[in-house]
Amino acid sequence: MTDLHQLAVMLKQLDDQMVTCMKCGMCQAVCPVFRETLREADVTRGKIALLENLAHEMVADAAGVKEKLNKCLLCGSCQANCPSGVRIIDIFLNARIIVNTYMGLPAAKKVIFKGMLTKPGLFNGLLSMGQKFQGIFTSPADELLGSSCSKIMSPLIGDRHFLPLAKKPFRKMVSTVDTCAGKSGLKVAFFPGCVIDKMLPRVGVAVLEVLMHHNVGIFLPSGQACCGIPAISSGDGESFAKLVELNVKAFAKGDYDYLVTACGTCTATIKEIWPKFLDRFPSDIQSQVRQMADKAMDINQFLVDKVGIDTQPAATGGTRVTYHDSCHLKKSLGVTDQPRTLLKANPACNFVEMNEADQCCGNGGTFNLHHYDVSKKIGDRKRENILASGADVVTAGCPACMMQLTDVLSRHGDRIRVQHPVEIYAQGLN
């Protein structure tokens, strides 16, 4: 049963968050979804107008409200460019929780979040089983990109070219690590995240290689869970809180200076979103959440700012490498120069800047599933900029972006590899 008092409190808090919005329309100029649809309901100003009368709108058409709220990439472009400093991502996440509290979680998401994601052992086991049978339903699409496509048309998969589940996930390659700080004097905890663990374990391996090369101590605990962004972005605050608690308990066993990830979305979630929902955690967990958030850092930023990686002269005729600014890295965390420095530190590479490098690639997590038509158009614009750069390799600091870039390039048969900056840097150490 819906807790009406809880809803009333949440609606009041939402009103307080929206009061500074001036309806200036600056969000129109930077919203990748609005650029494709030209619909006022798809831009931040239109959504805030809807939310100002949310209680009435939910009663009148709750499903319609949910659809409008979910048609958003949560890329943060509007928030990063808002002259009034409105915390738009906070507003949208809280609004989704309110709508979910009123309507209830859809059956499919209830199974995924509450039945699987919050039970890492079961979730990992099911995906390991899925890896063994995925060849029945999928076919290789591009050997260079490592992509696959569906053998049969599916409402979920459609014509996507996607990364298959890895034959051996990262957690089975490296179960646990706990080494002392070497000459660097630094020790980090490593949070691989779901996509690196299950689809891109090579990125996790590169992270460990680089850290060991620089004599950085590593703490990699077992029992890690999803960072929680799929749950909270779907309005499931309860599953989000359980996932955070699982991770806090896993990392509480170690002593480290920084918590690094190779996923911009995971870093932003831990550093920015976890502390926003402290009231959902028991008091003994709250301080640990704050500590982990304070220590969270992107791997590119850690290597450049803390270890001290610097650029090297590029080789003549080297591999041409470009970089896509993942939204959560640049717009949420302000990490933009460090990945480029890391790429320039490999002397065999020539770094080339692409046009609109900081424009969203169009993935947006579940947005890609529910609005693939729009996601694909945004991704195709990114592809055009990659091709225009003349790059042999395109890099991104977020595995979700790597998935989207793989899709748009593979569907068009483009011979451009997709990698993480830390992979490029690791290759230069050999």
Q: Give the C-alpha separation, 133 to 61, whole Å.
A: 41
Average pLDDT of the residues of the chain: 92
Q: Which two tokens stand for residue 241?
A: 């809180």
Task: Tell me what pLDDT residue 92 has.
Answer: 93
Instruction: Assess whether pLDDT exceeds 80 at residue 109.
Output: yes
Task: Tell me what pLDDT residue 154 has.
Answer: 64
Task: Tell me what pLDDT residue 153 has.
Answer: 59
Average pLDDT of the segment spanning 45-59: 87
pLDDT digits 0-9 by tens, 146-187: 888 877 656 667 788 989 999 999 999 999 999 999 999 999
Strand pairing report for 349-351 and 319-324? parallel
Give me Rg for the CA atoms of the chain.
Answer: 21
Q: Give the C-alpha separation, 220 to 204, whole Å.
A: 11
By C-alpha distance, which of 295, 323, 350 is closest to 419? 323
Strand, coil or helix: what is 174? coil
One-letter amino acid at 369 equals L
Q: Which long-range contacts (CB under 8 A, 24 or more apart) does 171-177 make?
A: 171/124, 171/197, 171/222, 171/224, 173/201, 173/204, 173/205, 174/204, 174/205, 174/208, 174/220, 175/222, 176/220, 176/221, 176/222, 177/208, 177/218, 177/219, 177/220
**Residue whose structure tokens are 């066993």:** 253
Q: Strands of 319-324's sheet, edge to edge?
A: 349-351, 319-324, 393-396, 417-419
Task: Tell me what pLDDT residue 96 has.
Answer: 93
Q: Between 140 and 192, whose confidence is greater?
A: 192
- From first CA to last CA, the distance across the chain in angstroms is 60
Task: Tell me what pLDDT residue 288 has.
Answer: 96
Task: Tell me what pLDDT residue 355 has.
Answer: 98
Q: Give the C-alpha separation, 341 to 130, whole Å.
A: 38
**Residue whose structure tokens are 């890895």:** 166
Superfamily of domain 4-104: Alpha-helical ferredoxin (1.10.1060.10)
| CA angle centred on 47, ends 403 and 396, rounded to 5° | 20
Task: Tell me what pLDDT residue 54 has.
Answer: 86
pLDDT digits 0-9 by tens, 225-258: 999 999 999 999 999 999 999 999 999 999 999 9
pLDDT digits 0-9 by tens, 357-394: 999 999 998 899 899 999 999 999 999 999 999 999 99
Query: Could you tell me the pTM of the whole model?
Result: 0.94
pLDDT digits 0-9 by tens, 347-366: 999 999 999 999 999 999 88
Q: What is the DSSP letter of 278?
A: G
Domain limits, the chain: 4-104, 309-427
Task: Tell me what pLDDT residue 152 has.
Answer: 67
By C-alpha distance, which of 89, 98, 70 is closest to 27? 89
Instruction: Assess whether pLDDT exceeds 80 at residue 195.
Output: yes
Residue 268 contacts residue 277 (beta carbons within 8 Å) = no
| CA angle centred on 233, ends 242 and 127, rounded to 5° | 65
Task: Tell me what pLDDT residue 310 has.
Answer: 85
Instruction: Assess whether pLDDT exceeds 90 at residue 9.
Output: no
- Confidence category of residue 1, pLDDT binned at 50, 70, 90: very low
For the domain bounded by 309-427, which CATH number is listed?
Answer: 3.40.50.1860
pLDDT digits 0-9 by tens, 23-49: 898 999 999 999 999 999 999 999 998
pLDDT digits 0-9 by tens, 279-337: 889 888 999 999 999 999 999 999 999 999 988 887 778 899 999 999 999 999 999 99
